[in-house]
């Protein structure tokens, strides 16, 4: 083994370790947030939370908690993708996904297309161009990494144009299933809100898809999620083709764990904040792709705390 190979293995091991540690941090923040919103942050607030000192702590938590959680998830997704397919491809994929997702979100907040009329509050951190919190397109990136990794468990490793579009569609669906519980939860907790106006002068179809029918959310939101998810995923597949998702990304369980962790907070909020149907439907929606992915597990269980050995990696990658 040459020194260059040793250096490569060390770099890959470091990337995997970063991905693992930030995933655990992401889990810790997500689990605590889910517990908090399901207990003492559920109105009416308990007396002990009303003190001046605890109010300051809560304000800091609202200001930085969500941004920190998303940032940790993004670092985990990016470090893992760099470990799996290389740093250059991972960085390009992140940059393109971030830019496209931000563009879609920015257009959405300015023109109401493709999601509908909505606006973000200040609870999600710094807003780019005073419109879109920076961690929104960031979360699009790492959740699409997770969604395409899930797709790699049951879709064929074909790199032709038709297959890439099919992958993008399925990946967009897997991503959108996350929003079944998340959107009601985030609206209920004032992370963003819908501004649906009078639709009386619109066509019957526009009234149907534009009317808030699911805990304040219109169908246009899901359509916008699906469209944006498909387009961003399709471009990601131009950089990392399906064969690489199947051979290098999908055999690992870290992106699947990343997808599952992001259901904790919205589902907990829905179940505890009088939106039980959204919590139940959101749970079912996310369990289906997770079940499909775990049912087609090509790799042996690998500890999230350590990097797989070269032999284990080779075995995992050749499992397909």
Mean local confidence (pLDDT), 45-53: 91
Alpha helices in the chain (DSSP H): 3-38, 52-85, 87-111, 135-151, 161-188, 204-210, 219-239, 242-244, 254-261, 264-272, 276-295, 310-317
pLDDT per residue as tens digits for the range 242-257: 999 999 999 999 999 9
pLDDT per residue as tens digits for the range 159-202: 999 999 999 999 999 999 999 999 999 999 988 988 866 665 67
pLDDT tier at 3, thresholds 50, 70, 90: low
Q: What are phi and psi of 218, to 5 degrees?
A: -85, 160
Is 185 within 8 Å of 273 (Cβ atoms)? Answer: yes
Is pTM, for the whole model, over 0.85? yes
Specify the pLDDT at position 90. Answer: 98
Mean local confidence (pLDDT), 26-32: 97
Specify the pLDDT at position 140. Answer: 98
Return mean pLDDT, the chain.
Answer: 89
Is 152 within 8 Å of 240 (Cβ atoms)? Answer: no
């Amino acid at each position: 083994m040459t020194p260059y190979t040793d250096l490569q293995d060390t770099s890959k091991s470091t990337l995997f370790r970063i991905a693992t540690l930030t995933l655990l941090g992401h889990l810790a923040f997500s689990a605590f947030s889910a517990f908090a919103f399901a207990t003492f942050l559920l109105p009416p607030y308990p007396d002990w939370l009303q003190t001046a000192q605890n109010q300051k702590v809560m304000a800091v938590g609202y200001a930085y908690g969500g941004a920190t959680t998303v940032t940790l998830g993004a670092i985990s997704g990016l470090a893992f993708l760099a470990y799996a397919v290389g740093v250059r491809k991972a960085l390009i994929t992140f940059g393109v996904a971030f830019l496209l997702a931000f563009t879609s979100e920015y257009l959405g907040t300015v023109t109401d297309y493709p999601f509908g009329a909505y606006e973000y509050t200040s609870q999600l951190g710094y807003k780019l161009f005073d419109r879109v919190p920076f961690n929104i397109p960031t979360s699009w990136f790492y959740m699409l990494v997770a969604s395409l990794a899930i797709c790699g468990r049951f879709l064929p490793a074909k790199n032709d144009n038709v297959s890439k579009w099919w992958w993008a569609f399925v990946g967009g669906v897997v991503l959108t299933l996350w929003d079944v519980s998340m959107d009601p939860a985030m609206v209920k907790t004032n992370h963003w809100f819908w501004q649906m106006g009078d639709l009386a002068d619109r066509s019957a179809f526009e009234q149907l898809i534009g009317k808030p029918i699911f805990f304040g959310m219109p169908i246009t939101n899901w359509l916008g999620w699906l469209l944006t998810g498909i387009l961003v995923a399709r471009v990601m597949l131009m950089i990392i083709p399906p064969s690489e998702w199947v051979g290098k990304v999908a055999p690992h369980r870290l992106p699947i764990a990343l997808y599952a962790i992001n259901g904790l907070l919205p589902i907990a909020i829905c179940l505890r904040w009088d939106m039980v149907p959204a919590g139940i439907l959101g749970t079912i929606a996310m369990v289906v792709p997770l079940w499909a992915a775990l049912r087609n597990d090509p790799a042996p269980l690998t500890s999230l705390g350590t990097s797989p050995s070269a032999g284990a990696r080779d075995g995992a990658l050749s499992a397909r």
